[in-house]
Amino acid sequence: MGPLSTRHRMGAAALLLAGSAVLSRIMGLARDKVISWQFGAGAEADMYFAAFVVPDCLNYLLAGGFMSITIIPLLARRFQEDAADAWRFFSCVFCWMLVAASLLTLLCMFFAEPLARLVAPGFTPARCARLAFFMRLVLPAQVFFLCGACFTALLYMRRQFGVPALTPLVYNGCIIAAGLILPAAAGAAGISVQGMTGYCIGVTAGAALGAFFLPWRIAARGGLHIQPVWRHGLMGRFLFMALPLMLGQTIVMLDEQILRVFGSLAGEGAVSLLNYARRIAQVPVGLVGQAAAAAAYPFLASLIAQGDETRFSDALCSALLTGLGLIIPCALCMAACAWPLLGAIFQGGRFGAAETLAAVPLTRIMLAATPFWLVYMVLVRGYYARGDTLTPALTGTVMTALCLPVYYFWAAPAGATGIAALSGLSVSLYVIWLAGIWRRRYGRGAFGGLFRSGLRALACSSPGAALAWYVCRLCMEKLSLHPVMASCLALAAGGISFALVFVPLSRFLAPTILEPVFRRLRATAETNEQRS
């Protein structure tokens, strides 16, 4: 396959995953909307969000989120050499993952009370007890996530992106359904399901169905051979790649958990407000960065395996340039429209105007770091494609160790605003450090024109963002309508204002920013014409 066909296949995969990311973010926001409506930014919501600290750290410890990164290069090469032995290697990884995930989950469930006091030092004893109960409900989900990650990696290797794209939709759907339906259904049966218990049960149910059953089912249809295997020659190499990811708790991986731990010290509601703000700020990261990085990795790994350094560097540079050109205007527009955006999504029920205004500066602070999040998500795939999992893990762990005292002694006393600011600053510094190491080792090819492209995107976006901010503020202060209706109108007006300024400027000053979008639209139009 030539470079053009590879780029097209990467684009198609990225488009599918981007579509999934859009729907997943919408469902995630819908889930948080239901939670904010029912529980606001209060103690019950704080405990629910804090309940994910230990399960997520367990997932990081076993490198579940990086399974495709560690196993795909080894498995793909082994399938080319000996398919039967490749299945033995896959079975060995799966068996050990099942045992490790099950044992650690049971251990965490047994010690849930002391773990709750550790991860939420600002909670009262009564709230820690309920937090421990929530943790026991959501911890089993990690067994399904971690074991399902093996099947998902297999699907990625086969270029089957459909089910992995569907997984987060099923997961979020189960959480919403269980949270809304289970209390009423249990009440009709004479069983009390109070507070956010239903949502916690939905987490495990969603993981079982979306993260485990569906990938397993599709993998089985395409041929899946699992047998009890406990030793294989490639396990040493697999562990060599995976251990840095297991032991290296980077500032990016732990960012959400750090916000929850130190948010518990910033007063009631801080954990929830930081979570809601982060949810909004991560939308452009998920839409642009996550989809591009996930789709690009198999191709980057393939190019490295072929020894084609030039095309590898070009592909990495192209992903960075395209992603940065899209995420900067997206983040600026969202920051300008943060007030009506938060009002339209979260305000209502127990989440009032005061909570909306409190979340606005937190959201803007976090959005400022989104370009660095994108660079990290793409660049780290370059490291992993080269088989280097140590450098990102080691540098990220060092950054975490440096930042934790600052969180405790400065950010937490400064409140939610200080915690959000340190979150963005620590991630940004880590990415700059990681990029500097790459330049020293592999040259500047991957960053060719990146800084200049970022400045052009910023220059094209800033005037539109300033106009959108003014229009949104004017609408929110002057419109005498229901708060949600006023927010929706202000958001529409702000978005249109931004587009009217940004699109002409970008077409004139930086046409490459929107070229991928226009190219995709033209291709879609041509396809529709051919079909008609």
The Cα 362–Cα 33 span in angstroms is: 17
Beta bridge partner(s), residue 351: 348
For residue 432, give both structure tokens.
């700059």
CA-based nearest residue to 249, from 385, 52, 59: 59
Domain ranges across the chain: 40-246
For residues 105 and 446, give the distance between their C-alpha atoms in angstroms, rounded to a whole number: 40
What sign has the CA pseudo-torsion 12, 17, 22, 23?
A: positive
Query: pLDDT value at position 117?
Result: 92
* Residue 335 backbone zone (phi > 0: left; psi -120 to 50: alpha; other: beta): alpha
**Dihedral sign computed on CA atoms, order 360, 177, 198, 185:** positive
Under the banding of pLDDT at 50, 70 and 90, the label for residue 19 is: low
Question: Which residues have C-beta within 8 Å of that of residue 139, sequence separation ≥ 6?
Answer: 54, 55, 58, 105, 108, 109, 112
Crossing angle between the packed helical segments 83-110 and 125-138, to the nearest 10 degrees: 160
User: Residues 65-72: what's their mean pLDDT?
Assistant: 66
Which pLDDT score is estimated for 4?
Answer: 39
Judge whether 120 and 261 are in contact, CB under 8 Å: yes
| pLDDT score for 516 | 60
Give the end-to-end CA distance of the chain in Å, rounded to a whole number: 30
pLDDT of the residue at 294: 67
Q: Which of 499, 494, 509 is nearest to 460 (CA)?
A: 509
Rounded average pLDDT over 144-164: 79
Q: How far apart are CA 369 and CA 384, in angstroms?
A: 23
* Structure confidence at residue 186 (pLDDT): 73
Give the pLDDT score at 164: 74
Residue percentage of the chain with pLDDT more than 70: 86
DSSP string, 358-374: HHHHHHHHHHTTHHHHH
Round to whole Å and give the CA distance between 390 and 374.
Answer: 20
How far is CA 460 from each of CA 290, 369, 453, 509, rounded to the nearest angstrom?
24, 18, 11, 7
Interval 89-137: pLDDT, tens: 888 888 988 998 999 999 999 999 999 999 888 888 999 999 999 999 9
User: Quick one: average pLDDT of 513-529?
Assistant: 60
Give the torsion through C-alpha atoms of 214, 216, 220, 224, to 10 deg: 160
Three-state SS string over 283-340 comes to HHHHHHHHHHHHHHHHHHHHHHHHCCHHHHHHHHHHHHHHHHHHHHHHHHHHHHCHHH
Read off the pLDDT of residues 168-197 as tens digits, 9 standing for 90 and up. Answer: 888 888 998 888 888 877 777 767 677 888
- Max Cα-Cα span within the chain: 70
For residue 315, the model assigns a pLDDT of 84
Range from 18-27, 226-235, 386-395, 451-460 carrying the lowest mean pLDDT:
18-27
Does residue 532 register a pLDDT over 60?
A: no
State yes or no: pLDDT of 7 exceeds 70: no
The pLDDT assigned to 5 comes to: 44
**Predicted confidence (pLDDT) per residue in 282-331, tens digit:** 888 877 777 667 667 767 877 887 787 888 888 888 888 888 888 999 99
Average pLDDT over residues 149-156: 82
Average pLDDT for 247-263: 82
- Give the containing element (helix H, strand E) for 213: none
CB 482 within 8 A of CB 353: no
pLDDT at 291: 67
* CB neighbours of residue 404 within 10 Å: 17
Output the pLDDT for position 8. 43
pLDDT, residue 444, reads 85
Q: Are 325 and 513 in contact (CB under 8 A)?
A: yes
Among 9-13, 58-62, 478-482, top mean pLDDT goes to 478-482
Could you give the CA distance from residue 236 to residue 163 in angstroms, rounded to a whole number?
30
Task: Compute the mean pLDDT over every residue in the chain, rounded to the nearest whole number.
Answer: 84
Average pLDDT of span 142-163:
81
Torsion angle of C-alpha atoms 418, 247, 152, 294, degrees rounded to 10: 50
Q: Rounded to the nearest 5°, which phi and psi values hold at 113?
A: -65, -55
Report residue 2's pLDDT band, with 50, 70 and 90 as the boundaries: very low
pLDDT of residue 517: 59
Q: How far is residue 155's CA from residue 147's CA, in Å, rounded to a whole number?
A: 13
Is the model more confident about 59 or about 187? 59
